[in-house]
Amino acid sequence: MKRIAVINQKGGVGKTTTTVNLGAALAHQGFRVLLLDMDPQANLTVHVDKRPDLEGNTMTNLFVEDASLEQLVQTTVSPNLSVVPSDTSLAGVEQVLANRIGRETILREALAAFAGASSFDFALFDCPPSLGVLSANALVAADYVLIPMQAEYLSLQGMAKLLEVVQLVQKRLNPALKIACVLPCMVDGRTNLSSEVLREIDAHFGPLLAKTRIRNNVKLAEAPSFGRTIFEHAPESNGARDYQMFAAEFLAMIGDGASSAGTTAAATNGEGVAGDDAAPPPMAAEGDGS
């Protein structure tokens, strides 16, 4: 199972939209995908048509009561797509775990003990817009970091902090963690602002910048209110096309390790790009059964 943390501490940049629709695009291709809602706002939970008030059945139970993932995973209306829901009680986890030793490794341990893990090809963590204990758990449990970024003024603000946290996690808790890419979201091809910002992101991230652009698309914004992914809500929309294209790019990126995947956070600080030696094993689709 490949684990991907979808993270950016900036709010409203497209994390949840990307987690749901990248997950759905992979599920449509036949991969078995588990979405984990790490955000007390529970937007992902609602997006896949689950109620965010399922007492005793959410991510909170994993962090506070050591519930197993077996108890928390639910199927969704989409084939191949399952979810661990969240609810507002997850906001209390930060405080509950404040003095607990090893609080950053809870999710990783839960995934390691998850007997059903082998039946999933991908786990995608939808992180909250903060760099607290929930995001730390996602980074510690992940193989890859995916950073959605809105193509707007000030979008690079806070990036240094995020990369610093990723580097710290790489150094102390999860040396195998790699940044997969930065994904521009809500791109408006008609404005100079978007292209100016994209040039700036390109100058900053170079090879880490994904080639796919997720365009502004009202269907993507509508889909959550129907509890549907973009592929059920508007399969012919630009939103569906863009996420399908990104899924293909993402698979190539993490499948052969020869593209920008395998790059460490240090690379973005001018210390060079890591080589292929950190390449992951072949994809499940190629028959490794993971």
Residues in the site for ligand ATP, rule: CB under 6 A?
11-17, 39, 41, 43, 129, 185-186, 214, 216-217, 220-221, 224
Residue 12, contacted partner among ligand ATP, Mg ion, none, CB below 5-8 A by kind? ligand ATP
Residue 220, contacted partner among Mg ion, ligand ATP, none, CB below 5-8 A by kind? ligand ATP
Closest approach, Cβ 197 to ligand ATP, in A, equals: 14
CA–CA separation, 4 and 147 (whole Å): 10
82 scored as a contact of Mg ion (CB under 5 A): no
Give the nearer residue to ligand ATP in terms of CB position, either 86 or 264.
86
19 scored as a contact of Mg ion (CB under 5 A): no
CA–CA separation, 289 and 285 (whole Å): 8
Residue 185, contacted partner among ligand ATP, Mg ion, none, CB below 5-8 A by kind? ligand ATP
Give the nearer residue to ligand ATP in terms of CB position, either 43 or 78.
43
CA–CA separation, 248 and 259 (whole Å): 13
In terms of Cα–Cα distance, which of 30, 122, 137 is closest to 86?
137
CA distance readout (Å), 247 to 210, 212, 241, 250, 281: 11, 9, 10, 5, 18
> Sign (positive/negative) of CA torsion 273, 104, 149, 214?
positive
Residue 11, contacted partner among ligand ATP, Mg ion, none, CB below 5-8 A by kind? ligand ATP
15 scored as a contact of Mg ion (CB under 5 A): yes
Q: Answer yes or no: are the C-beta atoms of 35 and 74 closer than 8 Å.
A: no
**Token reading at 163:** 């990369």
Give the nearer residue to Mg ion in terms of CB position, either 185 or 209.
185
Closest approach, Cβ 126 to Mg ion, in A, equals: 6
Paired with 4 in beta bridges are 124, 144
Closest approach, Cβ 203 to ligand ATP, in A, equals: 23
Which parts of 29-48 interact with Mg ion (CB under 5 A)?
43
* The only residue of 8, 9, 16, 194 in contact with Mg ion, by rule CB under 5 A: 16
Give the nearer residue to Mg ion in terms of CB position, either 45 or 217.
45
**Token reading at 104:** 């950053």
In terms of Cα–Cα distance, which of 215, 178, 176, 179 is closest to 195?
215
Give the nearer residue to ligand ATP in terms of CB position, either 217 or 259.
217
The full 3-state SS of 67-94, as one line of letters, equals CCHHHHCEECCCCCEEEECCCHHHHHHH
Give the nearer residue to Mg ion in terms of CB position, either 82 or 135.
135
- Residues contributing to the site for Mg ion (CB under 5 A): 15-16, 43
